[in-house]
Amino acid sequence: MTAPQAVEATPFTVNAGVGHWLQSYMMMTRWELTSLRMLLPLIVAIQIVIGGGFALGVGLLSDQMPTRAALYLSTGVTVVTLITVGLVMGPQLVANHKTAGTYDFMWSLPVPRTTQAVAWVTVNSVIALPGMVAALLIANWRYDLPLQVTLSIVPAVLLTIVTATMVGYAFAHAIRKPMITQLITTLVIFVILGFAPINFPPENLPDWLATVNLGLPFYHMAVVMRGGLTEGLVTNVGISYLVLGAYTVASVVVAAWVVGRRD
């Protein structure tokens, strides 16, 4: 065999621009999906079980679930599945990178950092969407719901997933100890499930807590998702889009700041 040629050092210029960004984004998505290849079927299956199980399980609370309550519940479950992936699963995967010590290499790749974050959102969506759809189908079958899916489900899902994923991403990257990240995300998810009006209307909460939730993103996530899945269950969807949109922008800005930071 002839010895391979000396490999010429490149580049001659530094790349920037939309083409470079898109190319890098596709490569990073491919990287993340391949990395998860072994776990992906399991993770997706677990998400489906969580979503479906939640939809069925809460139904056990009463024999005869009124349609309105069932509708709240089953649409709420979709939000819960999206949030858990972004705020729990995502940070745990980042924490794995940190524990394995493979973080330095990922952070040294010659791609814009934002492409790594967006690739992350993409992967989280791949994980979350089957669980969300399954939860909806199971709830629909169990409670026979008058669902009316419209196109506005697309921006609703996007805003919800991007916000949850970016908040989780920023957390996971900003906190040095993976253990702490996992404790915090677990705490967050329980607080959200218990004290945010996602699976029930805000009227069920004490006034002050309902007011607090108006300033937090979770209630608004539920509203925009309901807007896309039902007819007439929620009103003032526009305001929720505004509040949630602001949170999305803020979460992206914070995540961009965190990943751009150097010690």
Partner 1 sequence: MDDWTFRAEQVTKVFGELRANDGITLQVRPGEVYGLLGPNGAGKTTLVKQVIGLLKPSSGSLTLGTYDLVEDPDAARQLCSYLPQAQMPIDSFKPHQVISLTGMIRGGDPVTVRQRSEEMIEALDIGEWRDTMGARLSGGIKRLVGFAMVTVWPGRVVILDEPTNDVDPRRRRLLWEQIRRLGDGGASVFLVTHNVLEAEKSVDRLAIINDGRLIAEGTPSSLKSEDRGRMRLQLMMVPGHATPEMPAFVHHHTRVGNNVMAAISEADSAHAIGWAQELMRLDEAEEYALAATTLEDVYIRMTGHVSEDMGGEVQA
**Which residues in 44-67 are b (16+ Cβ under 10 Å) and which e?**
beebbebbbebbbebbeeeeebee
Residue that is written with structure tokens 């996602």 in the block:
198
Contact yes or no for 87/186 (Cβ under 8 A) = no
Instruction: Tell me the window of 25-33, 161-169, 185-193, 210-218 that interacts with partner 1 (CB under 8 A).
Output: 25-33
Q: Which stretch binds partner 1 (CB under 8 A): 62-70, 82-90, 99-107, 234-242?
A: 99-107
Q: Which of residues 30-49 bind partner 1 (CB under 8 A)?
A: 30-31, 34-38
- Position among 18, 61, 100, 151 found at the interface with partner 1 (CB under 8 A): 100
Q: With binding defined as CB under 8 A, does residue 10 bind partner 1?
A: yes
Distance CA 222, CA 78 (A): 9
Residue 103 sits in the site that holds partner 1 (CB under 8 A): yes
Q: Is 18 in the site for partner 1 (CB under 8 A)?
A: no
Cβ–Cβ under 8 Å, residues 29 and 23 = no
Residue located via tokens 């969580």: 50
Q: Which is nearer to partner 1, 110 or 232 (CB)?
A: 110
**Residue 15 binds partner 1, judged by CB under 8 A:** yes
Angle, vertex CA 204, rays to CA 233 and CA 49, nearest 5: 70
Q: Residue 263 interacts with partner 1 (CB under 8 A)?
A: yes
Cα–Cα distances in angstroms (integers) from residue 171 to residues 26, 83, 91, 176, 184, in the given order: 24, 14, 7, 10, 9
DSSP string, 215-243: HSHHHHHHHHHHHHH-SSS---HHHHHHH
Closest contact distance (angstroms) between CB of 43 and partner 1 is 13
Is 151 among the residues that bind partner 1 (CB under 8 A)? no
- Window of 22-30, 168-176, 198-206, 207-215 that interacts with partner 1 by CB under 8 A: 22-30
176 sits near partner 1 (criterion: CB under 8 A): no
Among 21, 53, 112, 184, binds partner 1 (CB under 8 A): 112
Is 1 near partner 1 (CB under 8 A)? yes
- Which residue do the tokens 């805000």 mark? 202
If one asks whether residue 122 binds partner 1 (CB under 8 A), the answer comes out as no
CA distance 178 to 98: 7
| Residue found by looking up tokens 């899916």 in the block | 149
Q: Which phi and psi angles does 35 have, rounded to 5°? A: -60, -35
Interface pick for partner 1 out of 104, 176, 232, 236 (rule CB under 8 A): 104
Residue 9 near partner 1 by CB under 8 A = yes
Figure out which of the listed residues 19, 22, 25, 27 binds partner 1, where binding follows CB under 8 A.
Answer: 27
Binding site for partner 1 (CB under 8 A): 1, 3-4, 6-12, 14-16, 24, 27-28, 30-31, 34-38, 97, 100-112, 262-263
